[in-house]
Structure 1
Amino acid sequence: MRATLTDERFSDPDWIFERKLDGERVLVFRQGKRVRLLSRNKKLLNNTYPELVDAYRKQPNGNFIVDGEVVAFQGRISSFSRLQGRMKITDPEEARKSRIAIYHYLFDLLFLDGHDTTRLPLRDRKKLLRKVIKFTGPLRFSAHCSEKGEKFYKEACKAGLEGLIAKNVDGEYVHSRSRDWLKFKCVNEQEVVIGGYTDPKGSRVGFGALLVGYYKGKRLKYAGMVGTGYDDELLRDLGKKLRKIEKGDPPLKTEGRDPGKNMKDSKQARNPKFEWSKRQLWCRFRDLNFGHLDLFRISIFGFRIFRQQ
């Protein structure tokens, strides 16, 4: 089940409000002592989070499916960039030795001892979840605030959190996006296409800046160069990915603007420092806003690749 982004902010006794955590969505399937951790894309994650496998094997109840978010913290705030250090690990022994502690925050129960619970209202699923799971070690219950969504939202934003997920307490669990779950975001996110990159200068590794665009109808328009917000590990890893992609003509439609403003139709788009990719990577930047002429004003503190075209 996925939440729908909304600009609405409301308070309602028939809704609960949970913190929006910045992590990886993980479903847990337990049958007897057999445990499987699956990502939203059905990737097996047992070797990445072996401590969670151990914790679920020790649970007193037998067969269940639970839904939650795996997170790592930077201080009191969940940090996706910190979690990425664990997401790359596929060796369970290496994962156990990692200094990046992870936690699984559970917010829903889909199946229990032969019974499909998705048709139950959320309020009942939450009650069952608290009874079924023994919350110790890395297993945490995703707490919520009832009714006072607007107040909780202001507090969450003031504390530097991503926002809230508002949930209808009478809603069923569906395997799609739903308006029974609504996303209240404190920061702006924009999905963009990586059309190319610049080479690194000086001591910088991987790449200098990403050349990104967005679709306006069927046209891919240039939106700006993004050169901040990356650590060295991400620069190296993403730089390797970009260099494996076949080079091509500038894919970003520009209306004749120059680099730093626009790309494709300008002479400077042929500048050798710009490397253009035939295949497109999509990514999501946080706190990325459109400025003058549809170009980006950028203040980046989070980045992730989430699909490839």
Structure 2
Amino acid sequence: MLKAFEFCLPTAAKAVPVGPDWIHEIKYDGYRLRVERQGRRVWLFTRNGHDWTSRFPWIVEAALKNREPQFVIDGEAVVLGVDGVSDFNALHSRKCDAEVQLYAFDVVAIGGEDLRPLPLSLRKANLARLLRGRPDGMFVAPFEAAGIGPDLFHAACRMGLEGLVSKRRDRRYSGGRSKDWIKVKNRTHPAMSRVM
């Protein structure tokens, strides 16, 4: 559907950016995933280009129930615990594949139109419209604007979450590593030891 698609990847940083141009999302601990729907067909692709369509049936079902027959969503495949926190061990075990949902944080195409040149704020508005009244299996990543970033990061750490991803609200979707997307990780989260 999208020729030469490349995921936008956040740049690691030690501090959350502040200022009116940034929005902040909780970083869920899962697998990055691109969901493509073309009519009655849905594909799920990983960052490395693997086709995981058969792996996560709930996401596929949610995509097929959407009234829009053509779209590409960027997000994170996650298993949520009863506390609403993503459980990477449950995800990685493959025992919960039927429970995996999509934490959707960007939409890069709708109805055959490439939305990557639009600023993030407009892509977020399009994503909210696309998933409005959505069936279970996909949910829109909530975000907070501007100066709340550092406080949100400390709250996320206290809750045992992985960290934050901060994004420039006025920038296009660019493939590859981007300084318009900044990730700050909770140094005490188990994901840190997996990275090491």
Q: Is the 8 A contact 2:35 2:43 kept in 1?
A: yes
In structure 2, how many angstroms separate the alpha carbons of the residues matched to 1:167 and 1:31? Answer: 28
Cα shift readout 1:17-71 (whole Å, capped 9, x = no counterpart): 0000100111011111111111111111111111211111111011111100011
The structural deviation recorded for 1:74 is: 3.4
Structure 2 residue identity aligned to 1:38: F
Moved more, 177-186 or 50-59: 50-59
Superposition pairs for residues 49-64 of structure 1, below 5 Å? 49-64=56-71
Could you say what the CA RMSD is over the residues aligned between the two structures, in angstroms?
A: 2.0
Match runs of 1:76-155 below 5 Å? 76=83, 77-86=85-94, 95-96=97-98, 101-134=99-132, 135-147=134-146, 148-155=148-155
Q: Distance in 1 between matches of 2:11 and 2:145?
A: 19
Q: TM-score, normalised by structure 1?
A: 0.57
How far apart, CA to CA, are the structure 2 residues paired with 1:170 and 1:32? Answer: 31
**Could you list the runs of 5+ residues in structure 1 that have no partner in the other structure?**
90-94, 190-284, 289-302
Structure 2 residue 109 is the aligned partner of structure 1 residue 69: no
Structure (1/2) with the larger helix percentage:
2
Cα deviation, residue 187, structure 1: 1.7
Matches within 5 A, 1:138-287: 138-147=137-146, 148-187=148-187, 286-287=191-192
For the 8 Å contact 1:39–1:45, the answer to whether it is kept is yes
Query: CA contact under 8 A between 1:71 and 1:104: conserved in structure 2?
Result: yes
Q: Is the counterpart of residue 15 in structure 1 residue 22 in structure 2?
A: yes
Judge conservation of contact 2:61–2:137 (CA < 8 Å) in 1: no
Q: CA deviation at 1:116?
A: 0.9
Task: Give CA-to-partner distance per residue, 1:51-97, whole Å, 9 cap, x none.
Answer: 211111111011111100011123422121110122x89xxxxx54x
Instruction: Give the secondary structure class of the aligned counterpart of 2:167.
Output: strand
| C-alpha deviation, 1:115, in angstroms | 1.2
Whether the 8 Å CA contact 1:4–1:179 is kept in 2: the answer is yes
Change (3 A) 1:182 1:304: closer
Matched residue, 1:273: none
When residues 62 and 287 of structure 1 are mapped into structure 2, their CA distance, relative to the original with a 3 A threshold, is closer
SS at 1:51 equivalent: helix
Please list the CA deviations of residues 94-119 of structure 1 after superposition, one character each: whole Å capped at 9, or x if unmatched: x54xxxx2211101111111211001
Note the alpha carbon deviations across 1:122-147, whole angstroms, 9 max, x for none: 00000011112242211100000111
Report the Cα distance in structure 2 between the residues aligned to 1:165 and 1:129, rounded to whole angstroms: 17
User: Closer, same or farther in 2 for the Cα pair 1:12/1:52, shift >3 Å?
Assistant: same
Q: Is contact 1:61-1:133 (8 Å) kept? A: no
Task: Return structure 1 stretches of 4+ with deviation > 6 angstroms.
Answer: none
Q: CA deviation at 1:174?
A: 1.0
In the alignment, structure 2 segments of 5+ residues that lack a partner are 1-7
Structure having the higher Rg:
1
Larger strand share, 1 or 2? 1
Q: Which of 27, 31, 38 does residue 38 from structure 2 map onto?
A: 31
Are the equivalent residues in 1 in contact too, given 2:102–2:139 (CA < 8 A)? yes
Partner of 2:21, secondary structure, is: strand
- Shift in alpha-carbon separation, 1:286–1:66, aligned structure 2, 3 A: closer
Contact 2:17 2:166 in 1 (8 A): no
TM-superposed deviation, 1:287: 4.4
**Deviation at 1:304?**
7.4
Count of residue pairs brought into register by the alignment: 186
| Contact 1:107/1:126 (8 A) holds in 2 | yes
